[in-house]
Amino acid sequence: MFKRILLPLDSSKLAECVLPHLVSIAKISEPEVQLLRVLEPFGVTARMRMIDPVDWQIRKAEAESYLSVIAECLQNAGLRVSTQVYDGRPAERIIEVAHSWNADLIMMSSHGQSGISPWNVSSVVQQVILRAHRSLMIIRAYQPVTADLINLRYHKIFLPLDGSQRAEMPLTLAESLARAHSSEILAAHIVRQPELPRRTSASQEDLLLVNQLTERNRAEAVKYLEELKSRIDVTIQTKLEISPSISRSLHQIAEENDVDLTILSAHGYSGDTHWPFGSVGLGFIVYGSTPLLILQDLPANRIELTRAEIAARETEGH
């Protein structure tokens, strides 16, 4: 479970859509919670100029007052809460604090002070997602938001699985939430149809081979889901589909079943563990519409730096 949850806020109502979810998640693990406000200097050349000390103190006092009000509400709901105000670039500061404070979950609204945009997540959230290397919870600010801080309930929890131990990493968390919320888990396994990339039509022999392999994988998936149900002590429904696109089928299942929360591991059976997220996780970040909780299964030192990150570090060193 989570011991330290970092919650960045920017004083906007959109960002506050995370708060009821924070209370719901905190009920099962009683974590420390840190509310973070990052004050970005005004102007496009803010990184190169000094911050006016008077302006900074005024803005800092306003931010501290805002966070103290939020903290008091959360403390009244039974949470342990602290607050911090920093200056700088929001994404960079959020990542720095997550690492220095050793947060094991970062919770963020998909959009904040800059408003709803056509992008599924804001630029700040996108940067944090790709570089924080922590478990993440993203709440869709464009979806209806409850004003009730303490009574949010998840009725149906969506759990994509692929038969691997990595994909099962969120299972304990999903069970605990289902137990606390009296909710149902919907576990889905998509058997991917093998591809036959070629310029000519597949032969009967090729098609027979594809069908045999698909049936073998389907039978194995049936056994896996039955075994899974036997070791879960909460209400669970399983769904098995055969599809050429795993991500598309999972998104369709989530939409058709009105799930309240999607939980998955950052990587699964076929995920490339050199990067922060596999293709399924990235698909839910970029195209998903439900609240999303992704557990990072890799330690930060196992995730390779991108060329851009390496170049940036080298530039800072000069």
Count the helices and strands in the chain (H runs, E runs).
Answer: 9, 10
- What residues does 192 pair with on adjacent strands? 243
Cα 207 to Cα 210, 232, 243, distances in angstroms: 5, 37, 15
CA distance 250 to 313: 38
State the pLDDT at residue 271.
64
CA distance 158 to 253: 9
Please name the residues in contact with 272: beta carbons below 8 A apart, sequence gap of 6 or more.
278
State the pLDDT at residue 51.
65
Tell me the average pLDDT of the chain.
91
Please name the residues in contact with 111: beta carbons below 8 A apart, sequence gap of 6 or more.
14, 117, 121, 122, 125, 141, 142
State the pLDDT at residue 49.
54
State the pLDDT at residue 43.
53
What is the distance, to the nearest Å, from the Cα of residue 139 to the centroid of all Cα atoms in its chain?
8
CA distance 233 to 235: 7
Please name the residues in contact with 259: beta carbons below 8 A apart, sequence gap of 6 or more.
156, 157, 158, 186, 290
For the segment 186-229, what is each residue's pLDDT rounded down to a tens digit?
A: 999 999 988 877 777 888 888 899 999 999 999 999 999 999 99
State the pLDDT at residue 296.
95
- What residues does 185 pair with on adjacent strands? 157, 236
Give the position of tokens 């602290």.
82
CA distance 103 to 256: 34
Contact call for residues 194 and 177 (beta carbons, < 8 A)? no
φ, ψ for residue 141, nearest 5 deg: -70, -20
Helices marked H in 29-155: 53-76, 90-100, 123-131
Please give the domain boundaries of the chain with CATH numbers for all domains. 1-149 (3.40.50.620), 153-318 (3.40.50.620)
The CB density around residue 46, as the number of other CB atoms within 10 Å, is: 14
- Rg of the chain taking only CA atoms, in angstroms: 22
CA distance 238 to 313: 46
- Starting at the edge strand found earlier in the chain, the sheet holding 32-39 runs 80-87, 32-39, 4-8, 105-109, 135-139, 292-295, 261-265, 156-161, 184-192, 236-243
Weakly modelled stretches of the chain, pLDDT under 50: 44-48
Residues counted in the chain:
318
